[in-house]
Amino acid sequence: MTVRRSVVRGCGAYLPKTILTNNDLAKRVDTSDEWIVQRTGISQRHIAADGEFTSDLGLASAKAALADAGLDAGDIDLIVVATSTPDYTFPATAVTIQAALGITNGAAFDLQAVCTGFVYALTVADQMLSSGLHERALVIGAETFSRILDWEDRGTCVLFGDGAGALVLESVAVDDGNGIDDRGVLAARLRADGRHCDKLYVDGGPSRTQTVGHLRMEGREVFKHAVTMIAEVVDDLMDATGLTADEIDWFVPHQANRRIIDGSARKLGLSPEKVVITVDRHANTSAASIPLALSEAVGDGRIKQGDLVMLEAMGGGFTWGAVLLRW
């Protein structure tokens, strides 16, 4: 029997040039490098320049992913952009990127699941490719969270950064699919529980306030739920696929906070050397953090073709989820 798999053909990333260190932040709010590093593992973050927008970051990452894949923009017939910081309320940032790439066919849309956005976008794109609806997709996570931060709130402004990452996926027909041995997206789980919507949110929006608003968070509450939710969804995926932690080659978590990442890996029994960490240099780039981390680990030769990779994320909503893929 023939099955279709969404296989990763390439990946790319983009980080804005300006770096804001913890010491830079300590000049603006009552904080210190020591406090931020100890509680979060973050040392610095990248900040988009004036006039540099989410679509610009996403476009740069998309071009890098296309170059890595050895494909032209015209080969793409689906663009999904995961973002909570779009250029405009509408049209979608995805169509701005589509136009800048010179693509006029296929579909392009944004998807918003906050920090879980990339896991949601990858899952949706995989379904659209494996059903045969589209051939090749750009799945992009792009954010300018610096634009929705309250720079006087030391409890949140130290945690986030700007950036973008992208994957090129291709729908490939596999004769007699070998399940877990195939390349491509193998399984996914998506979750949401809106009862927690007031624990991490932005206090503005077109319908309620006609403003953009600022990010608000009950940090302790988020922290309390994060490890449990992440471990539950990854465990579910491992049970469903019959895998053990030892069989996972790379764990690429959403980069929210070093303590959440370490706690999740410990709970799942994943050894620290399998965990890809970028939060120290990128901070939390929301939907961009996973493709940024993937690009880094592929670029430096850690993740290789054939490796089994587990992605996971948790964020506002709450939303959370995991994707298992063979690179």
Structure tokens given for 126: 């995989």
Burial of 70 (0-12, 13-18, 19+ CB in 10 A): exposed
Before 160, cis peptide (omega within 30)?
A: no
Give the one residue of 15, 95, 139, 158 binding ligand ACO; rule: CB under 6 A.
158
Shortest distance (Å) from residue 33 CB to ligand ACO: 10
> Which CB, 158 or 292, lies closer to ligand ACO?
158
Shortest distance (Å) from residue 62 CB to ligand ACO: 23
Out of 11, 46, 115, 196, which one is annotated catalytic?
Answer: 115
Q: Which one of the spans 190-198, 219-227, 235-243, 304-312 is the region binding ligand ACO (CB under 6 A)? A: 219-227
Of all residues in the shown chain, the one whose CB is closest to ligand ACO is 219
Q: Which one of the spans 6-14, 67-75, 215-223, 266-274 is the region binding ligand ACO (CB under 6 A)? A: 215-223
Give the one residue of 200, 268, 276, 287 binding ligand ACO; rule: CB under 6 A.
200
Shortest distance (Å) from residue 61 CB to ligand ACO: 19
111: β partners: 82
Shortest distance (Å) from residue 290 CB to ligand ACO: 11
Compute the distance between CA of residue 294 and CA of residue 246 in angstroms, rounded to an integer.
20
Q: What b/e sequence results for 82-110 when a residue is b if at least 16 CB atoms lie within 10 Å of its CB, and e otherwise?
A: bbbbbbeeeebbbbbbbebbebeebebbb
Q: Which one of the spans 36-44, 75-83, 140-148, 190-198 is the region binding ligand ACO (CB under 6 A)? A: 36-44
CB 78 within 8 A of CB 138: yes
Burial of 194 (0-12, 13-18, 19+ CB in 10 A): exposed
Shortest distance (Å) from residue 36 CB to ligand ACO: 6
Alpha helices in 174-314 (DSSP H): 219-241, 258-268, 279-282, 289-299
- Is 115 catalytic? The answer is yes
Handedness of CA 99, 103, 107, 110 (dihedral sign): negative
Shortest distance (Å) from residue 189 CB to ligand ACO: 17
Give the one residue of 82, 308, 314, 325 binding ligand ACO; rule: CB under 6 A.
314
Binding of residue 226 to ligand ACO (CB under 6 A): yes
Helical packing angle, 93-101 and 54-69, nearest 10°: 50
Shortest distance (Å) from residue 57 CB to ligand ACO: 18
Binding of residue 281 to ligand ACO (CB under 6 A): no
Binding of residue 31 to ligand ACO (CB under 6 A): yes
Site string for ligand ACO, 39-78 (x = CB under 6 A): xx--------------------------------------
Compute the distance between CA of residue 75 and CA of residue 56 in angstroms, rounded to an integer.
20
Strands 107-111 and 136-144: unpaired
**Main-chain phi, psi angles of 243, to 5 degrees:** -95, 155
Compute the distance between CA of residue 24 and CA of residue 127 in angstroms, rounded to an integer.
43
H or E element that contains 13 = strand 2-14
Q: Which one of the spans 81-89, 152-160, 174-182, 244-252 is the region binding ligand ACO (CB under 6 A)? A: 152-160
Binding of residue 204 to ligand ACO (CB under 6 A): no
Binding of residue 310 to ligand ACO (CB under 6 A): no
**Contact set with ligand ACO (CB under 6 A):** 31, 35-36, 39-40, 115, 154-155, 158-159, 200, 217, 219-220, 222-223, 226, 254, 256-257, 284, 314-315
Q: Which residues are catalytic?
A: 115, 254, 284
